[in-house]
């Protein structure tokens, strides 16, 4: 991508050149108009001066001598030697009432007849050059005076003005572009310093940036970078804790599996082999549950982002989850009851998270329920939302251990548990904006309630 300096300079120079072009066009138009006005005024003035000379009260012989003197002087003119090159580009002619040419310059264009229309007009000579002329009628003496100049006199002057104006502008634009380039570089130096600081940092460095002095335009960028570094540091910390916890918890099940496998190899009878194989299968199941719950915890970490929410009927979602759990509960000799009325329970939430939370609550209830026990799942409404409750007929909880039950890998009274079930439920409740509660029932057992805001 083009650099900021190059983009800014291109924009500035483009605008500058565009403005210069517009100004030059306007100057050219204005110069043409003003020069035409001045030269036209000079033509009219020269015609009137010539009128005054030609109207002097002289005798006929004196007038003829005056005309011959005019023509002789004009005929002997040598612009390249003792005059100006433009002399040949300026001419005049005077006709008497009979149409006879009295006075003229040799460079003047030829007219078949004296111009009849007074005022300004354009004519071409025999060489194809255009002349700008002014015709003045002397009513008192019947003279007709034509004064003109070649058009290239004006165009040459306009060209000189444009050249003398344009070249300084172009040169000034180049100098200004160089100055703007240096100025932009100086203005972007703090950004270049920040980039150099970032490149110089160690790849594993996550410390906040503290650049001083820092322009206020770069303060939001530094703050955003520091927030991102803090988030990365927090995410890496969670990953390290998760890996440490997982490694710690996996060490014991794997050691137990090794013992059971060794016992299976050393078993001397079929009964001992079956017993060791049963222990091995049980250990594999426990390790599988631990791995699944660890993966669930990883998906529920805050770094995983917000859950996808949809409008659902919570009663339908709960019923579908319980249908999947019923065969497993029946195999354990437990009875499942779903206590809910026929009303609708609309809520905008993550159905998958509800499924995981309910599965863990029912699994916990099943692990602590006595044989032939009843697990009751109920759904109700409150002022703030919906409440999903799971009741069991187990021993309940010790009030002093209530908070510890939500700690990772804390398992009370269940050797097969991984200690992550309630932790997962609590994480889901927090992500959904609700909470989970544990209460002992008066008739015995424990009620785990998941509050879901609407």
Question: 120 in the Ramachandran plot: left (φ > 0), alpha (ψ -120 to 50) or beta?
Answer: beta
Please tell me the predicted confidence (pLDDT) of residue 266: 81
CATH for 308-453 is: 3.30.565.10
Give me 416's structure tokens. Answer: 């097969």
Query: Distance between terminal CA atoms of the chain?
Result: 47
Q: Which of 405, 439, 451 is nearest to 424 (CA)?
A: 405
CATH for 219-299 is: 1.10.287.130
Q: Which of 159, 153, 158 is nearest to 86 (CA)?
A: 153
Please tell me the predicted confidence (pLDDT) of residue 415: 45
Please tell me the predicted confidence (pLDDT) of residue 39: 82
- Domain locations along the chain: 4-161, 219-299, 308-453
Does residue 386 sit in helix, strand or coil?
A: strand
Please tell me the predicted confidence (pLDDT) of residue 23: 81
Please tell me the predicted confidence (pLDDT) of residue 253: 63
CA dist 316 → 319, 320, 346, 450 (Å): 5, 6, 10, 16
The domain defined by 4-161 folds into Beta-Lactamase (3.30.450)
3-state secondary structure 56-70: CCCCHHHHHHHHHHH
Task: Kindly give the confidence (pLDDT) of every residue in the chain, 454 residues in length, as a single tens digit, with 9 standing for 90 and above.
Answer: 467 777 787 888 888 888 878 887 887 788 778 888 888 888 888 888 888 877 777 665 666 666 666 666 655 555 555 556 666 677 888 888 888 888 787 778 888 788 888 898 888 876 778 888 899 988 888 888 888 888 887 777 777 777 777 777 778 878 888 888 888 888 777 777 777 777 777 777 777 777 777 777 777 888 888 888 888 887 777 777 667 656 655 665 676 677 778 878 888 788 888 887 887 787 777 677 667 666 666 666 555 555 567 788 888 888 888 887 787 788 888 888 888 887 777 888 777 778 778 888 888 888 888 888 889 999 888 878 888 899 988 888 777 666 666 665 555 555 444 456 677 778 778 877 888 888 888 878 888 888 888 7
């Amino acid at each position: 991508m083009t650099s900021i300096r190059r983009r800014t300079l291109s924009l500035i120079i483009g605008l500058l050149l565009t403005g210069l072009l517009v100004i030059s066009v306007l100057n050219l138009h204005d110069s043409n108009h003003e020069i035409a006005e001045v030269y036209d005024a000079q033509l009219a003035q020269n015609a009137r001066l010539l009128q005054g000379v030609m109207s002097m009260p002289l005798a006929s012989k004196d007038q003829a001598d005056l005309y011959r003197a005019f023509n002789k002087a004009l005929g002997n003119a040598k612009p390249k030697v003792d005059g100006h090159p433009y002399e040949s580009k300026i001419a005049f002619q005077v006709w008497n009432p009979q149409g006879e040419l009295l006075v003229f310059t040799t460079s003047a264009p030829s007219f078949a007849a004296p111009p009849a229309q007074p005022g300004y007009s354009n004519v071409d000579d025999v060489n194809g050059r255009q002349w700008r002329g002014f015709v003045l009628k002397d009513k008192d003496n019947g003279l007709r005076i034509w004064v003109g100049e070649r058009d290239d006199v004006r165009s040459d002057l306009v060209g000189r003005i444009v050249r003398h104006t344009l070249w300084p502008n172009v040169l000034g634009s180049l100098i200004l572009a160089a100055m703007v380039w240096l100025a932009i570089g100086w203005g972007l130096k703090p950004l270049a310093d920040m980039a150099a600081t970032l490149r110089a940092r160690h790849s594993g460095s996550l410390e906040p940036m503290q650049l001083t002095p820092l322009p206020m335009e770069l303060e939001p960028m530094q703050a955003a970078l520091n927030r991102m570094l803090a988030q990365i540091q927090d995410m890496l910390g969670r990953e390290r804790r998760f890996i440490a916890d997982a490694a710690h918890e996996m060490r014991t099940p794997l050691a137990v599996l090794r013992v059971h496998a060794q016992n299976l190899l050393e078993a001397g009878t079929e009964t001992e082999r079956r017993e060791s194989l049963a222990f091995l299968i049980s250990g594999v199941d426990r390790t599988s549950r631990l791995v699944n719950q660890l993966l669930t915890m990883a998906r529920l970490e805050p770094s995983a982002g917000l859950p996808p929410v949809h409008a659902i009927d919570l009663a339908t979602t709960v019923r579908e989850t319980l249908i999947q759990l019923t065969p497993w509960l029946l195999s354990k000799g437990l009875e499942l009851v779903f206590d809910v009325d026929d009303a609708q329970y609309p809520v905008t939430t993550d159905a998958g998270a509800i499924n995981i939370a309910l599965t863990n609550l029912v699994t916990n209830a099943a692990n602590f329920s006595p044989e032939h026990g009843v697990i009751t799942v109920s759904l109700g409404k409150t002022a703030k939302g919906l409440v999903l409750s799971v009741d069991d007929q187990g021993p309940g909880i010790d009030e002093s251990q209530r908070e510890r039950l939500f700690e990772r890998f804390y398992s009370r009274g269940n050797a097969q548990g991984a200690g992550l079930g309630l932790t997962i439920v609590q994480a889901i409740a927090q992500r959904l904006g609700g909470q989970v509660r544990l209460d002992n029932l008066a008739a015995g057992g424990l009620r785990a309630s998941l509050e879901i805001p609407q």
